[in-house]
Structure 1
């Protein structure tokens, strides 16, 4: 007879997301995850397939929240929506702003040592999604401007992704979710310059 669950799955994933976001993946042991999330080892193993399986669930939770709350407006928008996204990276209370940087950036850095294909795929998928949202917004802007447009959408979209990585890295290194504001201000100024005056 299966054991009854003593936890809510989504709540457990949300707690685990915050724990991994703050402490990272590699140095966090299963016992520490138990203590910080309330999940027991049996649940981590049977429900999530172990520590990496739980971590992958938290990455999906994190990515879905960022895409729904912060990226989605770019699909119907243009440069102003990209500017709004960048400002959110350094705005306390935003889904994508944290003293701990970005869970995806942190995962990419850790995975340079771990070399997990599953983590690599999750990270790559997120950045591809972000670049895709930038591209849609920039193509919308380019179409609206017509022949007067002074930028190439796919080049600019690809350039904005590493800027996001740098902003998050700055926030985490200083444990201050507003630390990347100078770079955000620069990017927003550049983007505003592509708009008709």
Structure 2
């Protein structure tokens, strides 16, 4: 008779996400994970297949929680510049928390790419979702005359996502919101 899983996999993924976010994939051992999650190695493998499987679940959890919250704020409406400014500064704030651990997706890209195809697809999908949502907001704002229409909304969205990723790397080097936030104003100049 198969044993019933005795732990909350969603909670385990959330805890693993924080551990991977703080330490990175390579520096986090299976033993670290089992101790941190309070589960046995067999349970980890039964639930996720491997350390890599748990890592991909953690990346998906990050995308589905933090990234989705940012997109919800974007879609809520309001002055597009103010909404984008708030979203970017909030991402900086999250990145500098806990000693400047940055962004899990950016960290994963720096650590695991180009040699880890599944991680690359997960990151690309998350960035595409963000750029698509941002392009939709920018297209609507241009239609209302809130921003200039000199740039293709998809290209402008890709620029802002790329800018944010660079900013999140900078947040690891200089984990200070007051130093990084003024850079957002420069990027918002692209909307003129």
TM over 0.5: yes
Cα contact 2:113–2:119 (8 A) shared by 1: no
In structure 1, how many angstroms separate the alpha carbons of the residues matched to 2:41 and 2:131?
Answer: 37
Residue in structure 1 matched with residue 171 of structure 2 by the alignment: 171
1:2-21 matches, cutoff 5 A: 2-21=2-21
1:131-142 matches, cutoff 5 A: 131-142=131-142
Residue in structure 2 matched with residue 107 of structure 1 by the alignment: 108
Residue in structure 1 matched with residue 87 of structure 2 by the alignment: 85
Alpha-carbon deviation of 1:126?
Answer: 0.8
In structure 2, how many angstroms separate the alpha carbons of the residues matched to 1:88 and 1:147?
Answer: 22
Residue in structure 2 matched with residue 65 of structure 1 by the alignment: 65
Range with bigger deviation, 70-79 or 47-56: 70-79
In structure 2, how many angstroms separate the alpha carbons of the residues matched to 1:107 and 1:147?
Answer: 33
Q: Show structure 1 runs of 5+ residues with no match.
A: none
Alpha-carbon deviation of 1:156?
Answer: 1.2
Cα contact 1:81–1:137 (8 A) shared by 2: no
Alpha-carbon deviation of 1:130?
Answer: 1.1
Secondary structure of 1:101's counterpart equals: coil
Cα contact 1:82–1:137 (8 A) shared by 2: no
User: Over aligned residue pairs, what C-alpha RMSD do you find?
Assistant: 2.3
Alpha-carbon deviation of 1:148?
Answer: 6.1
1:25-44 matches, cutoff 5 A: 25-44=25-44
4+ residue runs over 4 A deviation: none
**Matched positions, count:** 187
Secondary structure of 1:67's counterpart equals: helix
* Superposed CA offset, 1:67-120 (max 9, x none): 3311123235333322221121223xx5x664211000011111126x121111
More helix by share: 2
- TM-score normalised by structure 2 residue count: 0.86
In structure 2, how many angstroms separate the alpha carbons of the residues matched to 1:116 and 1:39?
Answer: 26
Q: Show structure 2 runs of 5+ residues with no match.
A: none
